[in-house]
Structure 1
Protein backbone atom coordinates (compact mmCIF):
# COMPACT_ATOMS: atom_id res chain seq x y z
CA UNK A 1 0.00 0.00 0.00
CA UNK A 2 1.09 3.51 -0.76
CA UNK A 3 -0.07 6.38 1.43
CA UNK A 4 -0.63 10.05 0.74
CA UNK A 5 -2.03 13.24 2.29
CA UNK A 6 -3.32 16.22 0.31
CA UNK A 7 -2.26 19.39 2.11
CA UNK A 8 -4.87 21.96 3.10
CA UNK A 9 -3.16 24.52 0.84
CA UNK A 10 -3.22 22.33 -2.31
CA UNK A 11 -4.03 24.56 -5.33
CA UNK A 12 -7.01 22.42 -6.37
CA UNK A 13 -8.97 23.07 -3.18
CA UNK A 14 -10.18 26.69 -3.46
CA UNK A 15 -13.64 26.51 -4.96
CA UNK A 16 -13.95 22.74 -4.46
CA UNK A 17 -16.07 23.43 -2.27
CA UNK A 18 -15.99 26.84 -0.54
CA UNK A 19 -16.22 26.53 3.22
CA UNK A 20 -15.84 22.73 3.17
CA UNK A 21 -13.07 21.71 0.80
CA UNK A 22 -13.07 18.18 -0.62
CA UNK A 23 -10.11 16.68 -2.47
CA UNK A 24 -11.14 16.49 -6.16
CA UNK A 25 -11.40 12.99 -7.61
CA UNK A 26 -8.81 13.80 -10.27
CA UNK A 27 -6.24 14.50 -7.52
CA UNK A 28 -7.02 11.15 -5.85
CA UNK A 29 -6.71 9.37 -9.20
CA UNK A 30 -3.36 11.06 -9.84
CA UNK A 31 -2.09 9.42 -6.64
CA UNK A 32 -3.45 6.06 -7.86
CA UNK A 33 -1.49 6.41 -11.12
CA UNK A 34 1.61 7.40 -9.12
CA UNK A 35 1.25 4.19 -7.07
CA UNK A 36 0.94 2.02 -10.21
CA UNK A 37 4.03 3.60 -11.77
CA UNK A 38 5.98 3.41 -8.48
CA UNK A 39 5.33 -0.34 -8.42
CA UNK A 40 5.79 -1.08 -12.14
CA UNK A 41 7.88 1.75 -13.59
CA UNK A 42 6.85 4.27 -16.26
CA UNK A 43 4.07 2.82 -18.38
CA UNK A 44 3.24 5.60 -20.82
CA UNK A 45 -0.44 6.19 -21.48
CA UNK A 46 -2.77 4.82 -18.81
CA UNK A 47 -6.56 4.51 -18.92
CA UNK A 48 -9.10 4.35 -16.12
CA UNK A 49 -11.90 2.24 -17.66
CA UNK A 50 -13.76 1.93 -14.37
CA UNK A 51 -13.79 4.26 -11.35
CA UNK A 52 -16.22 4.55 -8.47
CA UNK A 53 -16.04 7.17 -5.71
CA UNK A 54 -17.82 6.10 -2.53
CA UNK A 55 -16.78 8.67 0.09
CA UNK A 56 -14.95 12.01 0.00
CA UNK A 57 -11.37 12.60 1.06
CA UNK A 58 -10.82 15.79 3.03
CA UNK A 59 -7.61 17.84 2.99
CA UNK A 60 -5.15 16.67 5.64
CA UNK A 61 -6.58 13.14 5.84
CA UNK A 62 -4.26 10.22 5.11
CA UNK A 63 -5.37 7.76 2.44
CA UNK A 64 -3.83 4.50 1.27
CA UNK A 65 -3.74 3.15 -2.29
CA UNK A 66 -3.71 -0.61 -2.83
CA UNK A 67 -3.17 -2.05 -6.30
CA UNK A 68 -3.33 -5.61 -7.53
CA UNK A 69 -2.73 -7.00 -11.01
CA UNK A 70 -5.69 -8.53 -12.77
CA UNK A 71 -5.39 -12.04 -14.21
CA UNK A 72 -4.55 -10.73 -17.69
CA UNK A 73 -1.91 -8.30 -16.37
CA UNK A 74 0.83 -10.26 -18.17
CA UNK A 75 -0.74 -9.35 -21.51
CA UNK A 76 0.51 -6.60 -23.79
CA UNK A 77 -1.84 -4.18 -22.03
CA UNK A 78 -1.59 -4.94 -18.30
CA UNK A 79 -4.43 -3.97 -15.95
CA UNK A 80 -4.68 -3.40 -12.21
CA UNK A 81 -7.51 -3.13 -9.73
CA UNK A 82 -7.15 -0.35 -7.18
CA UNK A 83 -8.69 0.66 -3.87
CA UNK A 84 -8.26 3.95 -2.02
CA UNK A 85 -9.00 3.70 1.69
CA UNK A 86 -8.93 5.91 4.76
CA UNK A 87 -8.63 4.03 8.06
CA UNK A 88 -9.88 0.86 6.37
CA UNK A 89 -12.91 2.63 4.89
CA UNK A 90 -13.30 2.52 1.10
CA UNK A 91 -13.14 5.91 -0.63
CA UNK A 92 -12.70 4.89 -4.28
CA UNK A 93 -12.07 1.81 -6.39
CA UNK A 94 -11.68 0.85 -10.02
CA UNK A 95 -9.27 -0.30 -12.71
CA UNK A 96 -6.18 1.09 -14.41
CA UNK A 97 -5.10 -0.17 -17.83
CA UNK A 98 -1.87 0.44 -19.70
CA UNK A 99 -1.92 1.40 -23.35
Structure 2
Protein backbone atom coordinates (compact mmCIF):
# COMPACT_ATOMS: atom_id res chain seq x y z
CA UNK A 1 0.00 0.00 0.00
CA UNK A 2 1.45 3.35 -1.04
CA UNK A 3 0.56 6.63 0.62
CA UNK A 4 1.54 10.28 0.95
CA UNK A 5 0.80 12.60 3.86
CA UNK A 6 -0.21 15.95 2.39
CA UNK A 7 1.67 19.07 3.53
CA UNK A 8 -1.61 20.49 4.87
CA UNK A 9 -2.41 17.46 7.09
CA UNK A 10 -3.69 18.74 10.48
CA UNK A 11 -1.02 16.83 12.47
CA UNK A 12 1.89 18.76 10.98
CA UNK A 13 1.82 22.32 12.40
CA UNK A 14 2.88 21.16 15.88
CA UNK A 15 5.27 18.42 14.75
CA UNK A 16 7.57 20.43 14.34
CA UNK A 17 7.11 24.15 13.61
CA UNK A 18 9.35 25.24 10.74
CA UNK A 19 10.47 21.66 9.91
CA UNK A 20 7.42 19.40 9.89
CA UNK A 21 7.84 15.63 10.15
CA UNK A 22 5.05 13.09 9.85
CA UNK A 23 4.39 11.82 13.41
CA UNK A 24 4.96 8.12 14.07
CA UNK A 25 1.35 7.69 15.16
CA UNK A 26 0.23 8.73 11.66
CA UNK A 27 2.52 6.10 10.11
CA UNK A 28 1.13 3.47 12.49
CA UNK A 29 -2.43 4.45 11.61
CA UNK A 30 -1.56 3.74 7.96
CA UNK A 31 -0.06 0.37 8.95
CA UNK A 32 -3.25 -0.63 10.76
CA UNK A 33 -5.34 0.53 7.79
CA UNK A 34 -3.19 -1.61 5.46
CA UNK A 35 -3.70 -4.68 7.66
CA UNK A 36 -7.47 -4.14 7.71
CA UNK A 37 -7.53 -3.49 3.95
CA UNK A 38 -5.84 -6.86 3.41
CA UNK A 39 -7.73 -8.89 6.02
CA UNK A 40 -10.93 -7.00 6.89
CA UNK A 41 -11.88 -5.55 10.27
CA UNK A 42 -10.06 -7.40 13.04
CA UNK A 43 -11.00 -5.51 16.18
CA UNK A 44 -8.27 -4.21 18.48
CA UNK A 45 -4.71 -4.60 17.22
CA UNK A 46 -1.56 -4.41 19.37
CA UNK A 47 1.81 -3.10 18.27
CA UNK A 48 4.17 -4.93 20.65
CA UNK A 49 7.32 -3.84 18.84
CA UNK A 50 7.92 -0.77 16.67
CA UNK A 51 11.16 0.91 15.59
CA UNK A 52 11.29 4.30 13.89
CA UNK A 53 14.51 4.56 11.89
CA UNK A 54 14.12 7.55 9.55
CA UNK A 55 11.64 10.44 9.29
CA UNK A 56 8.97 10.86 6.63
CA UNK A 57 8.50 14.41 5.38
CA UNK A 58 5.16 15.82 4.25
CA UNK A 59 4.56 15.18 0.55
CA UNK A 60 6.99 12.23 0.36
CA UNK A 61 5.63 8.92 -0.89
CA UNK A 62 5.99 5.82 1.25
CA UNK A 63 4.74 2.26 1.11
CA UNK A 64 3.83 -0.44 3.58
CA UNK A 65 4.96 -4.04 3.24
CA UNK A 66 3.22 -6.71 5.31
CA UNK A 67 4.24 -10.30 6.04
CA UNK A 68 2.18 -12.83 7.94
CA UNK A 69 -1.47 -13.59 8.47
CA UNK A 70 -3.94 -13.24 11.31
CA UNK A 71 -3.27 -12.99 14.16
CA UNK A 72 0.28 -11.61 13.68
CA UNK A 73 2.12 -9.57 11.07
CA UNK A 74 5.51 -7.99 10.51
CA UNK A 75 5.48 -4.63 8.77
CA UNK A 76 7.89 -2.21 7.18
CA UNK A 77 7.25 1.37 6.11
CA UNK A 78 9.60 2.33 3.28
CA UNK A 79 10.53 5.38 1.23
CA UNK A 80 12.12 3.86 -1.84
CA UNK A 81 14.55 1.27 -0.41
CA UNK A 82 14.96 3.12 2.90
CA UNK A 83 13.20 1.60 5.90
CA UNK A 84 11.45 4.32 7.89
CA UNK A 85 9.76 2.08 10.46
CA UNK A 86 9.34 -1.61 11.19
CA UNK A 87 7.69 -3.78 13.75
CA UNK A 88 5.02 -6.28 14.70
CA UNK A 89 1.24 -6.05 14.89
CA UNK A 90 -1.00 -8.62 16.55
CA UNK A 91 -4.76 -9.11 16.75
CA UNK A 92 -6.41 -9.35 20.16
CA UNK A 93 -5.74 -7.90 23.54
User: What TM-score do the two structures reach when normalised by structure 2?
Assistant: 0.96
In structure 2, stretches of 5+ residues that fail to align are none
Pairwise CA distance, 1:15: 1.3
Under a length normalisation based on structure 1, what TM-score does the superposition of the two structures give? 0.91
1:62 aligns to 2:56 (yes or no): no
- 5 Å matches for 1:1-99? 2-69=1-68, 73=69, 78-99=71-92
Q: How many residues align?
A: 92
Q: SS of the counterpart of 2:19?
A: coil
Which contiguous aligned blocks of 4+ residues in structure 1 show a shift greater than 6 angstroms? none
Equivalent-residue separation in structure 1 for 2:40 and 2:20 (angstroms): 32
Structure number with larger C-alpha Rg: 1
**CA deviation vs aligned residue, 1:8-65 (integer Å, no higher than 9, x gap):** 0000001100100000000000000000000000000000000000000000000000
Q: Partners in 1 of 2:14 and 2:42 — Cα distance? A: 32
CA distance in 1, matches of 2:7, 2:37: 24
